[in-house]
Chain A
Amino acid sequence: MIEKALKGNRNYWAWIASLLAVIAVGITAYNRQHWFGLTVTGMGRDVSWGFYIAQFTFLVGVAASAVMVVIPYYLHNRKEFSKTVIIGEFMAVAATLMCLLFILADMGRPDRVLNVLLFPSPHSMVFWDVMVLNGYFVINLVSGWTVLGAERRGVPPPSWVKPVIYLSIPWAVSIHTVTAFLYAGLPGRHLWLTAVLAPRFLASAFAAGTSLLILVTLVIKQCTGFDTGKEAREKLAVIVTYAGIVNFFMIGTEFFTAFYSHVPSHMHSLQYLFFGLEGHYSLVPFMWFSLLLGLGSLVVLLLPGKKSSPKWLAAACTGLVVSIWIDKGVGLILGGFVPSPLEEIVDYHPTLTEVGVTLGIWAIGLLVLTILLKVAVSVKSQE
């Protein structure tokens, strides 16, 4: 089946070539990081996680959002999702792969990564995260590939695949819950120490991840003529709208708890992010841009008729993806480290090397996604 990815028009190969070029840049940058150490990144003693972990957090959400097509199609038998479900599953595969690569890129000693399995530590949330992410990767790849293979041969999918697909539903919730638990159980990091973090992660995942899915289906339609269906896209847009509203509602509750209780340590991170603290304002424009862009996109989706216009839909989805990427990636990670446990403020700026590695990993993810979707589209359109 993979041979279908080897046949394509000029645009297809140009796209693959440009991704390979970006991957080459990423490998060069990573080589530099591997040689000189993580000192070549913007991270330091005070802000000890940065761009990589931010991407990781965001992408776990993208991966988890596959359930937003799996649930209606497999649990509720909504046929209009029949062409979208494979795209959701393959997107989850690519996103999970990127998550794992971002963790590897962030590690000081990636050569020792198997220590996580050699010395399993159930008290550590990282152990569980590695378990669920790898599991989710396998589940989606196996179920997506098997169902697609059966479709190519014109036979019903094997009976064992149904339970695997059903398993992917709670599993998707688990990957994002465990990812939230990475942060939400640490004393002294007040922005993260909130019970609403896991629900907020899920809401933002179902908003941003599903938005990205809509965008991918629009790109496929543009590039290959393969349409997953307007109806499915509009249904997904409804999910995006509700998930987005819940997400912003929960951000609001964070503000209430911090500022009404007036506990200084609870307010500091939010003050740093949104209003600036002791002369440090570097993230303020980004956070307000994120907030206004996200709310603006939701307004577009709520206005009657805008969802059915591909242009407005694409604009609103892009807006939500960018908004949540800033808020849940960059803002959440940096806000957890500033102010530091000793109430000191140190700003963080990613370096070119860090951005290079990040782009490289995104390109690897997009390459895997392109190949998988090329196969899927070829099978679905019976080329």
Chain B
Amino acid sequence: MNKERRDFIRKTGLGVLAGICASSGLLPKFSLEETVLPAWDEKPVPGKIRWGMLIDTRKCLNECSECVAKCHFVHNVPDFGNRKDEVKWIWKSSYEHVFPTSTQQFRTSDVLLRSYIAMCNHCADAPCTRACPTEATFKRWDGIVSMDYHRCIGCRFCMAACPYGSRSFNWRDPREGIKLASVDYPTREQGVVEKCNFCSDRLVRGLIPACAESCPQKAFTFGDLNDPKSDIRALLESNNTMQRKPELGTKPSVFYII
């Protein structure tokens, strides 16, 4: 083989390679269609924002469960009508169940009779994300503990790890338990874990979480815990609040005014 032939073959090969790279977008400058990657351009700064929720339990009405209904509708949370298969993102329970390690003796009857909202705490130091073997549940840059339903293997380690019972498993096909389907959020599959996502799906659309929006009593305050000028910080500074099981060091992002 003479030199010209070898050069010709080499150059043709390189040309074909460059063509493949260009058309597949590996060389952005030469790509046929420009690749837009805003997520890379405006990379979020981890820890800058920490979304949090403050629930004023004094305002919460016992007979009302608008927040639960709205959240479960928006996110296509199934209802099978039994406790064993139950999936829930937000629910109401009694003081002794939501705050089992807090003062139980000599509380006013008002405190003991009231019902309390329980949801994922989006802990700053979340045991569930530590336990997950596939990073299917992970901490986002804005403090939200999120789920990747397509990566979850259904081992339920996160459920054993969560000290708040905030996680649910799809013991059966969830679509069978959805009476009225919402188009705002995808349904899940049988065999994966799910939980409250702090409405990360609504936040990107500029909406506040569904529970906060639906509350007729305005008992929820959603905001950035790291922003000293936010409403939630103002309320946290002017009220005596508490978190669920603070002794575990999980640093919940959900606070309660009792």
Residues 303-354 of A contacting B (Cβ, < 8 Å): 336-337, 340-344, 346
By the criterion CB–CB under 8 Å, are A112 and B84 in contact?
A: no
By the criterion CB–CB under 8 Å, are A43 and B96 in contact?
A: no
Does residue B85 face the partner (Cβ distance < 8 Å to A)?
A: yes
By the criterion CB–CB under 8 Å, are B101 and A265 in contact?
A: yes
Q: CA A188 – CA B153 in complex, angstroms?
A: 23
Q: Which 6 A-B pairs have the closest CB atoms?
A: A108-B154, A188-B163, A108-B191, A44-B84, A126-B133, A39-B171
* Contacts between chains A and B (CB distance < 8 A), count: 144
Does residue A106 face the partner (Cβ distance < 8 Å to B)?
A: yes
Q: Which of B98, B157, B162, B168 contacts A188 (CB 8 A)?
A: B162
Q: Given contacts A39-B172, A108-B152, is CB(A342)–CB(B133) below 8 Å?
A: no
Q: Which of A108, A130, A187 contacts B156 (CB 8 A)?
A: A108
Q: Which of B118, B136, B163, B171 contacts A43 (CB 8 A)?
A: B171
Q: Given contacts A123-B130, A346-B83, is CB(A189)–CB(B160) below 8 Å?
A: yes
- Least CB distance from B187 to A in Å reads 14
Closest chain B residue to A182, Cβ basis:
B157
- B98, B100, B152, B161: residue with the most chain A Cβ atoms closer than 10 Å: B100
Number of interface residues of A (CB under 8 A): 44
Task: Please indicate the chain A residues that have their CB under 8 angstroms from the CB of B101 in the complex.
Answer: 265
Task: Please indicate the chain B residues that have their CB under 8 angstroms from the CB of A227 in the complex.
Answer: none
Chain A residues near B (Cβ < 8 Å): 36-39, 43-46, 48-49, 103, 106-110, 112-113, 115-116, 118-119, 121, 123-127, 130, 182-183, 186-189, 265, 336-337, 340-344, 346
Closest chain A residue to B84, Cβ basis:
A44
Does residue B35 face the partner (Cβ distance < 8 Å to A)?
A: no
16 A/B residue pairs, CB under 8 Å, sorted by A: A38-B169, A44-B85, A45-B86, A46-B165, A108-B153, A108-B154, A108-B155, A108-B192, A109-B153, A109-B189, A112-B152, A115-B153, A119-B151, A124-B157, A186-B160, A343-B100
Task: Please indicate the chain A residues that have their CB under 8 angstroms from the CB of B134 in the complex.
Answer: 112, 115-116, 118-119, 121
Q: Which of A36, A48, A124 contacts B132 (CB 8 A)?
A: A124
Does residue B93 face the partner (Cβ distance < 8 Å to A)?
A: yes
Q: Given contacts A38-B169, A39-B85, is CB(A124)–CB(B151) below 8 Å?
A: no
By the criterion CB–CB under 8 Å, are B131 and A126 in contact?
A: yes
Q: Given contacts A48-B169, A108-B169, A188-B248, is CB(A343)–CB(B96) below 8 Å?
A: yes
Q: Which of B83, B87, B155, B161 contacts A106 (CB 8 A)?
A: B155
